[in-house]
Amino acid sequence: MGLLAAEENHILMPHTSELVFGLIAFAIILFAFWTKILPRVTTTLDERADAIEGGIERAKAAEAEARETLQQYQAQLAEIRAERNAEIEKAKQQGAAIIAEMREQAQVEARKIVENAHAQIEAERQQAVARLRVEIGTLSTELAERIVGEALSDDAAQSRVIDRFLDELESQDRAGSQAEAR
């Protein structure tokens, strides 16, 4: 071997053709990567990242929505429960009021009935007394007449008269009480 320049097939001497063709090959590959291949790869990767992120965000949104709905439901439930409690309370009060009123009415009525009954009894008693008075008068008059009319000689006759009188009186009294009951 000799000097670098003098040697034709020296291992360190670059060949002109390989220099040029290497440059061309590099340029072709670089051009293809730059304009065609890598944009596709990056767009796909970006899309995938978007898809994954979108999925996560959708899941988050759904979770938030679910939580919100749950809260709404719980609020509604609490509201309904409170309302129901209020209703029950009101109903209880109303029931108590109604019962009190009814009792009042019943008492008033009972009292009225009792009063009526008292008044009637009184009236009937008065009537009875009055009629009794009249009747006793007539009876005693009649009895006196009879006693007087029978000539008071006979004891037996007397007692017979008295018995008959009492029988009459009894029957009269029964008829009278029946008539009165009617």
Partner 1 sequence: MEILGNLNVIGYGLAAIGPGIGVGIVFGLGNQAIARQPELRGPLQLNIYLGMALVEALAILGFVLAFALPYTSS
Partner 2 sequence: MSANAHVLAAEDGDGGLFTPGGPGFAPPTTDIFFPPPIVEFGPFAISKYTVLLALTVVVVLGFWFATTSKMKLVPSRWQSVAEMGYLFIRDQVARPTIGKQGDRYVPLLITLFFMILVMNLWGVVPLVGQLPVTANTAVPIVLALIVYVFWNVVGIRKQGGWRYFRDILFMPGVPWPFYIILTPIEVISTLIVRPVTHAVRLFANMFAGHLLLATFAAAGFYMFNPGAPDALLGAVSVVFSGFAFLGFFAFTLLEIVIMSLQAFVFVLLTAVYIGGAVEPAH
Interaction site with partner 2 (CB under 8 A): 9, 11-23, 25-26, 28-30, 32-34, 36-38, 40-41, 43-45, 47-48, 51
One character per residue 12-31, x = contact with partner 1 (rule: CB under 8 A) = x-------------------
| Tokens, residue 90 | 């009101």
Q: Using the minimum distance from each CB to partner 1, give the nearer residue, 11 or 148.
A: 11
Residue 158 near residue 146 (C-beta atoms within 8 A)? no
> Does 103 engage in binding with partner 1 (CB under 8 A)?
no
Q: Using the minimum distance from each CB to partner 1, give the nearer residue, 10 or 118.
A: 10
Q: Which does 51 bind (CB under 5 to 8 A by kind): partner 2, partner 1, none?
A: partner 2
Describe the crossing of helices 38-150 and 155-181 by its angle, rounded to 10 degrees. 160
Sign of CA dihedral 153, 173, 179, 142: positive
| Tokens, residue 57 | 């965000």
CA distance 127 to 132: 8
What residue ranges bind partner 1 (CB under 8 A)? Answer: 1-4, 10-12
